[in-house]
Amino acid sequence: MQNKIKGRLKGVSVVDVKRKLDAGEKLFLLDARGADEYEAMRLGIGETLIPLGAVRKRLAELPADKNAEIICFCKISLRGYEAALILEANGWKNVRVMEGGIMAWPYPREK
């Protein structure tokens, strides 16, 4: 919470993510969980799996436009927050963290 209050965490609610998707907004959704977690449960909304430990090595898979909206998440968004910090440190400017992660997603999931 302190990171959010201090402006370090730029969050977005699951409701806002769903609204953006329904409106056809172009988002890059980065799932920072491990492959086993992804196989067990995923949203199925166009997310890209890049486990937190691989983010630095896979920056080329992110949008080339450093102003593109990127929403990071994981199970509860701790790793999503860490992924967002890595992206911001590498020049992406419009990075947000989906608050509560996949566990807060009240809408249908793929699995």
pTM (predicted TM-score): 0.93
CATH number of residue 53's parent domain: 3.40.250.10
Encode pLDDT of 60-102 as tens digits.
Answer: 999 999 999 999 999 998 999 999 999 999 999 999 999 999 9
> Which regions of 43-109 does DSSP assign to beta strands (E)?
48-49, 70-73, 95-98
**How far apart, in Å, are the Cα atoms of 105 and each of 17, 21, 101?**
10, 13, 7
As for how many domains the chain has, the answer is 1
Residue 36 lies in a domain: yes
Whether 111 is in a domain gets the answer: no
Distance CA 6, CA 69 (A): 21
